[in-house]
Amino acid sequence: MLQREIDPEAAADIAKFEALLPRYLAGEIEEDTFRIFRLNNGIYGQRQKGHNQMVRIKVPYGRITAEQLDKLADIADDYSRGWGHLTTRQCVQFHFVQLERVPDLMRELASVGLTTREACGDTVRNIQGCHLAGACPHEQLDITPWAEAAFQHFVRNPLGQRMPRKFKINFSGCATDCGQAMFNDVGVVGTTRTLDDGSVEAGFRVFVAGGLGANPHPALALEEFTPKEDLLPTIEAILRTFDHYGNRDNKLRARMKWLVDTMGWEELQRRILKERKLLMGSATWPGGIPLDVEKYGDAPAGASTSVTPTVMGQGTGVTIRSSDPYERWETHNVVRGAAKGTVSAYAYARLGDITAEQFRALAAMQREFAATVRITNRQNLVYRDLTDEQLPALYERLKDIGMQHAGAELARDVVACPGADTCNLAVTQSRGLADAIGVALEEAGLGEVGGIRTNISGCTNSCGQHHTADIGFHGAERRAHGRSAPGYQMLLGGYVGETQVHFGQRATRLPAKSAPEAVVRLVRRFANEREAGELFGSWLERSGGAKGVVSDLADLIEFPTPEENPDYYVDFAETAPYEAEVFEGECAGA
């Protein structure tokens, strides 16, 4: 493979890591000092301790090339355990990488234009964006060049290296908000306004101070309309305001969302707008239309006059009537409707995991079909710029590697964080539960029920985004019959879309081993009782709310005794009795 020349800034990052690593290993650099440096370079410690590291790779707005997919395959084989993991923030993670090998891995990534820089730590994290941007029939503008401009402006920017806490930015091309702008520190949504002369101006609506974690906060609209030339200055003004006033003494209250509580929304809004007004005098002022936007344009894909646009977003319900596997895949994994004639198709990555063999096959498909590819925030991949004629062949290629299932936005598409498999803060095996739920739904014939999302986090910190799912779980240690046991808090009715976010209502606590059956019962009842096109939240409300529907689960809530069923005292994917072990957090909830 022909490898590009490494970017000088990336080369400098690698050289610095190579210089400091032996000094740290020799005890010349303190643990806390090196930890901050390591995190700012996207390297995160695992619960296995020793020199086991998780490496998080930034993939801005999810866009990835065939060359990069091939490189990820090599990394999976040579540095990790043969597979990688797609995250809910459009990154790629590899686990069990040895610390001594990190500089070599960073160099491999840089050779194909990828970086780990600021993928962890108190920095500006990966810039997210709607995975269908530029191909979505509903978008007001294509956010792709805007997300790229934001990434280029903030990566390695001195303003974003030692923030009070991590800072997350997200782009959506329309109010459908497939990019999930409503729970980020900055959520940018494409919109339009009609001017006095009757012309229509495309621009943005910027939302501020959203967040999940143990205390979720909805993002708030900074102003009704932000013109294009003011977008990057607005984001930088928000970042600067957070840097000035964020809590540096208590990390548990250090995120942007807490400023709304401490100073009030109107005061925070005033300070941001004042910062933007004075920003022109700064050397970093990023005003005007970014070069990427001028070069590539941001015109929306547009809706076709001959094809009904595909409905997207949370709550999308599709009835799959055909028994033919290809027709079922085409019904739900293919998005059409762009005036420019593009067709997009999802490749389903179960639990967000992709093996080295699959990475290489995905790269080969991208080349064969001359497609563009993006990672989605539900841990799948989407192939774009296809034609209808290419779909049968793409389906067969995906079938060869087990990624052809009609999965995106169906009940089987369960999202989970890495959980206690590797995370220092998790108390349960969230991936194991996600797997068990998927199996239970398939066995019950409910895997292809549309319009319902299940998300799982191994602790309260919501890396699995459980607050925003129709059915959400977060892990919790339970005590039963004098023993420690794995359990989950169930939340119901979470939703994000149409520039709204509703956080799930607490429903009940369950033993981990009862959770799959609980999901099966809820999905079956929803499928049987919902009205045409009805969202889960609407059905839930008319069914008595979260507390109303859990009456169906009463027999699942209690733990049997260890003698009656010892399996309840062993977590998924484990063999030894459950023991809640929480270590010092580095990147998530700490």
The pLDDT-based confidence of 1 (bands split at 50, 70, 90) is: very low
Q: Distances in Å between the alpha carbon of 337 and those of 303, 317, 403?
A: 5, 17, 24
Pick from 232, 3, 6: nearest CA to 110 = 6
C-alpha–C-alpha distance, residues 143 and 133, integer Å: 6
| Residue 4: DSSP 8-state | P
pLDDT confidence band for 443 (50 / 70 / 90): very high
Q: Are strands 169-172 and 186-194 parallel, antiparallel or unpaired?
A: parallel
CA separation for the pair 489, 494 (Å, rounded): 14
Contacts of 340 (CB under 8 A, 6+ apart): 301, 302
pLDDT at 589 over 60: no
Q: What percent of the chain has pLDDT over 70?
A: 95
The CATH number fitting domain 8-110, selected from 3.30.420.40, 3.30.300.180, 3.90.1580.10, 3.90.480.20: 3.90.480.20
Q: What are phi and psi of 316, to 5 degrees?
A: -60, 125
* 491-547 per-position pLDDT tens digit: 999 999 889 999 999 999 999 999 999 999 999 999 999 998 899 999 999 999 999
- pLDDT, tens digit, for every residue of 96-145? 999 999 999 999 999 999 999 999 999 999 999 999 999 988 899 999 99
Q: 415-569: same fold as 140-296?
A: yes
Of residues 162 and 3, more confidence is placed in 162
Strands ordered across the beta sheet of 83-86: 43-45, 52-57, 92-98, 83-86, 353-355
Helix axes 144-154, 231-245, angle to 10 degrees: 40
pLDDT value of residue 306: 67
Contact 401, 107 (CB under 8 A): no
Which superfamily is assigned to 415-569 in CATH?
Sulfite Reductase Hemoprotein, domain 1 (3.30.413.10)
Whether the predicted pLDDT of 307 surpasses 70: no
Contact present, 582 and 427 (Cβ < 8 Å): yes
Give the CATH number of domain 325-400: 3.90.480.10
Q: Would you place residue 381 in the very low, low, confident or very high pLDDT band (cuts 50, 70, 90)?
A: very high
Whether residue 568 has pLDDT greater than 90: yes
pLDDT digit string (tens) for 451-485? 899 999 999 999 999 999 999 999 999 999 999 99
Average pLDDT of the residues in 554-561: 96
DSSP output for 277-300: HHGGGSTT---S--HHHHHH----
Q: Tell me what pLDDT residue 588 has.
A: 47
Instruction: Work out the average pLDDT over 309-333.
Output: 73
pLDDT average, residue stretch 373-395 = 96
* pLDDT higher than 80, residue 313: no
Q: What is the pLDDT of residue 322?
A: 73
What is the pLDDT, as a whole number, of residue 491?
A: 97
Domain coordinates in residue numbering, the chain: 8-110, 140-296, 325-400, 415-569
pLDDT over 90 for what percent of the chain?
84
pLDDT, position 590:
37
Q: Does domain 140-296 have CATH number 3.30.413.10?
A: yes
Q: What separation, in Å, do the N-terminal and C-terminal C-alpha atoms of the chain show?
A: 41
